[in-house]
Amino acid sequence: MKRGDLTPDQIEISRVTTFHRNEKKSHKEDYQLKNTTIKAVLWDMDGTLVDTAELHYQAHIQTLAKYGYTIDRPLYNTMFGMDDHLIMSKVAPGMQKEAFNAMVIEKNILYRQLALNEPQNPLPGVVDWLTRFQAWGFRQVVVSTTFIENIQVLANSLQITPYFEELISTTHMQLPSKPAPDGFLKGAEILSLPVEQCMVIEDAPAGVASAKAAGMKCLAVGTSNPVENLQEADLVTPTMADVNKADVVRLL
């Protein structure tokens, strides 16, 4: 069929398909990656793939207020990236277990409502690097402390689910929260890879500490924390759009 015989919709589909084919080709040609140690990339979700700090904070303060508690932003920022059970136990110690668990669930239901009510976009550079890692042949998973339902809703909303083999929630799997290494170790176990073959991408000091405790290399992005607070990582960049490909290749 000649191009002149195509409908506008068919032309657009052809254009987009050609674009993505060329994108994958260009990423493959970025560097000749041979005999790399790293075989998988383990992404954090909140603050790394998407900026959800304000949504989580609003869900926390609105839910806590119903139970007579509050949390200020500076304190919350020091705990961002940790399990909600851990965060809320610092603010509401001594609550009866059943009521406490109901409060945590309520906070996350509200969080998902807020997330769906406001358009969410991947952080700068994220989709480009997801595509690049895929083209380079790296396996990719999400490892997050948040509820599995939160991960699924955000990944689907951002249209990035197909990039990942697995979406891992330490809360769902009842694993210790970051900075404990259990979530990333579970990711390596699911992929049947040694920790030395896994690289983590994180945005929070607790996540960086978790990656290093797991024995993995770590790329940290300063999207929700000052870069000076992320210096335990092997490589630090303001955003994924700013990271230098050559520096990443040296980590691999």
195 contact partners, CB below 8 Å, separation of at least 6: 184, 185, 188, 214, 215, 216
Q: Which of 245, 247, 246 is nearest to 235 (CA)?
A: 247
* Predicted local distance difference test score (pLDDT) of residue 24: 47
* Predicted local distance difference test score (pLDDT) of residue 80: 82
Residue type (1 letter), 14: S
Q: What is the pTM of this model?
A: 0.81
* Distance of alpha carbon 206 from alpha carbon 181, whole angstroms: 10
Residue-by-residue DSSP string for 103-114 = HHHHHHHHHHHH
Distance of CA 118 to the CA centre of its chain: 18
Residue-by-residue DSSP string for 172-200 = TTTPPPTTSSHHHHHHHHHHT--GGGEEE
* Predicted local distance difference test score (pLDDT) of residue 5: 58
* Distance of alpha carbon 97 from alpha carbon 103, whole angstroms: 10
How confident is the prediction along the chain (252 residues), in pLDDT tens digits per residue?
444 555 544 444 444 344 444 444 445 445 557 679 999 999 999 999 999 989 999 999 999 999 999 998 988 888 887 888 989 998 999 889 999 999 999 999 999 999 999 888 999 999 999 999 999 999 999 999 999 999 999 999 999 999 999 999 999 999 998 999 999 999 999 999 999 999 999 999 999 999 999 999 999 999 988 999 999 999 999 999 999 999 999 999
* Predicted local distance difference test score (pLDDT) of residue 31: 58
Residue-by-residue DSSP string for 7-26 = -HHHHHHHHHHHHHHHHHHH
Strand partners of residue 198: 40
H helix or E strand, kind and range, residue 84: helix 84-91
* Predicted local distance difference test score (pLDDT) of residue 35: 78
